[in-house]
Chains A and B, each alone.
Chain A
């Protein structure tokens, strides 16, 4: 993911009261937010199919501080249990649904103590527990790797490795090799603006072949953690089946419906909405409800790519961006275009077009298929109070250092791209509806 949320400061005060009326606690079953300002459609019924999960975008976990509401953030609800138990379980709401990362990462204090104590850490060859450092673009998360029985909708994974973020004990101290990449540590619900992240990107595990060698540092780093603390980086096997080592893509680890996902979200009007409801369907071409019906299929780079996995090529105003991507964990479009009007003051970093502008990037897959990804760019200052979901927002990722030109290869299509679309994401190395992943289709 490229996040956390992008809430401009000027919106925070407006949303303060809204956050207070948010969802139930992190340990209770999801009860979708019912914000007061704007009546919006909400889920009217739990989908009957075992392979369909509800998705909601709202102000985020009830425990968030009032000035820190989530924005343009898709959430799902998951359940974890002690391995083999049907009673020592916890349902966790407001889990950030992220196609821009892989693996389940739960903020440690969200897990109740009795359950946490029953979730065994993964052990390494030295007989010590294992921890992980996972790098996001602007932050990192550190914590133990534990195993739990995982469930979302009707799909399950037994003994699935996940990361307990901000764990204590031998995992309390972040190794220097984890923090030396820069950025902020994300360790709390307030840091993340979510109770957990469910990473369902296009790869089967969160590190792949790179982490199978201890010397090949990558976006994920696994550590040996004796009682004295975590220091030594260790090799971990990439596997989507037990006995796991790296964190798997939870979808890839399902027994069925494990080749990809289908995210369907309604369109959002320019004025935005307090909340938005959609669905996440598991599997592509595995059930009656998940046929590959998309008009356009674009194949993605794999883990073997020297540019990284999951990438498309965007073309915008005649310029090529070969490291572009779709990412539900990004709250806006991220691209550099200095010809657009930049926002100032509380919304600095965003683009502030005086009037809505249609921008017409295209996306091209490795299969040379090209699709329009045109959108209308809106001014964030036009958004009303109580808005937690808004379309067409753009951010210049280099606003504070626009001369640096380090982002001239990348056009990020965040969650607004998904509004009004059904987007298929197929996982690397498996057939999905007759076409091998990885691909996106819409």
Chain B
């Protein structure tokens, strides 16, 4: 998976949790970015920040080749996370309070929902959208919070 060590998980979780709690701010973004940089050194991972006109991408590349990309809006709120790599990330941490809703959306019918057409895991609510997929030994996905997405930004912009 996009291997996040516990501390990295926690930091991203903190950022997302703050975001989800509705009390984000630039200070949180600064803290997140600095902490991720510290983890970058510890994990021997590479980190890049790329600024777009509508948002900023923070990309952590992990030793196993996996990536986690966080996207922040002009207010410093993490509004989307995209992952890809040779394992599944800790979505319980990445999605925070939304994880249970995501899980329920995919297992709430004793597995029949997903077996029905074997489509990858999804959440399609108004507060949270998740799509995920993959193949043997490689998994990807995108989670986003529609309410926080900068105007004009589409999922395809979040590469």
Q: A residues touching B (Cβ–Cβ < 8 Å)?
A: 1-9, 100-102, 135, 137-139, 176-177, 179-186, 191, 193, 201, 203, 207-208, 210, 215-219, 221, 303, 306-311, 323, 325, 327, 330-332, 334, 348-350, 395-401, 403-407, 409-410, 412
Residue pair B115, A401 in contact (C-beta under 8 Å): no
Q: Is B156 an interface residue (CB 8 A)?
A: yes
Q: Is B47 an interface residue (CB 8 A)?
A: no
Q: Is B79 an interface residue (CB 8 A)?
A: no
Residue pair A404, B142 in contact (C-beta under 8 Å): yes
Given contacts A219-B1, A406-B132, contact A400 B119 (CB under 8 A): yes
Partner of A327, one of B112, B133, B135: B135
Interface centre among B82, B106, B117, B140 (most CB of A within 10 A): B117
Stretch at the interface among B16-24, B29-37, B69-77, B121-129: B121-129
The minimal Cβ–Cβ distance linking B79 to chain A, given in whole angstroms, is: 14
CA distance A183 to B97 in the complex (A): 16
The minimal Cβ–Cβ distance linking B83 to chain A, given in whole angstroms, is: 10
Residue pair A6, B115 in contact (C-beta under 8 Å): yes
Partner of A180, one of B63, B92, B133: B92
Residue pair A349, B117 in contact (C-beta under 8 Å): yes
A-B CB pair tally, cutoff 8 Å: 199
Residue pair A102, B116 in contact (C-beta under 8 Å): no
CA distance A193 to B141 in the complex (A): 26
Question: Residues of A contacting B86 with CB < 8 Å?
Answer: 210, 218-219, 308
| Chain B 137-148 interface 0/1 with A at a Cβ cutoff of 8 Å (1 = within) | 111111000000
Residue pair A218, B122 in contact (C-beta under 8 Å): no
| Chain B 69-109 interface 0/1 with A at a Cβ cutoff of 8 Å (1 = within) | 00000000000001000111111110000010011001100
Residue pair A406, B140 in contact (C-beta under 8 Å): yes
Given contacts A216-B63, A404-B142, contact A399 B90 (CB under 8 A): no
CA distance A203 to B90 in the complex (A): 25
Q: Is B155 an interface residue (CB 8 A)?
A: yes
Q: Is B5 an interface residue (CB 8 A)?
A: yes
Question: Residues of B contacting A308 with CB < 8 Å?
Answer: 86, 134-138
Minimum CB distance partner of A181 in chain B: B88
The minimal Cβ–Cβ distance linking B116 to chain A, given in whole angstroms, is: 6
Minimum CB distance partner of A185 in chain B: B107
Given contacts A177-B90, A401-B122, A406-B142, contact A6 B63 (CB under 8 A): no
Q: How many residues on the B side are at the interface (Cβ–Cβ under 8 A)?
A: 50
Residue pair B64, A218 in contact (C-beta under 8 Å): yes
Residue pair A135, B135 in contact (C-beta under 8 Å): no
Interface centre among B1, B82, B93 (most CB of A within 10 A): B1
Can you show 16 pairs from A to B with CB atoms below 8 A apart? A4-B115, A4-B118, A137-B132, A180-B90, A181-B91, A185-B107, A216-B3, A217-B3, A218-B86, A219-B139, A308-B136, A323-B138, A348-B117, A398-B133, A407-B131, A410-B135
Minimum CB distance partner of A323 in chain B: B135
The minimal Cβ–Cβ distance linking A13 to chain B, given in whole angstroms, is: 13
Residue pair B91, A137 in contact (C-beta under 8 Å): no
Given contacts A183-B107, A218-B64, A395-B119, contact A401 B87 (CB under 8 A): no
Question: Residues of B contacting A191 with CB < 8 Å?
Answer: 111
Minimum CB distance partner of B4 in chain A: A217
The minimal Cβ–Cβ distance linking B22 to chain A, given in whole angstroms, is: 24
CA distance A239 to B4 in the complex (A): 26
Residue pair A325, B135 in contact (C-beta under 8 Å): yes
Residue pair A183, B114 in contact (C-beta under 8 Å): yes
Q: Is B150 an interface residue (CB 8 A)?
A: no
The minimal Cβ–Cβ distance linking A254 to chain B, given in whole angstroms, is: 21
Given A181-B139, A397-B118, 9 other A-B contacts at CB below 8 A? Answer: A2-B135, A135-B1, A186-B111, A217-B1, A310-B136, A327-B136, A401-B130, A403-B155, A410-B135
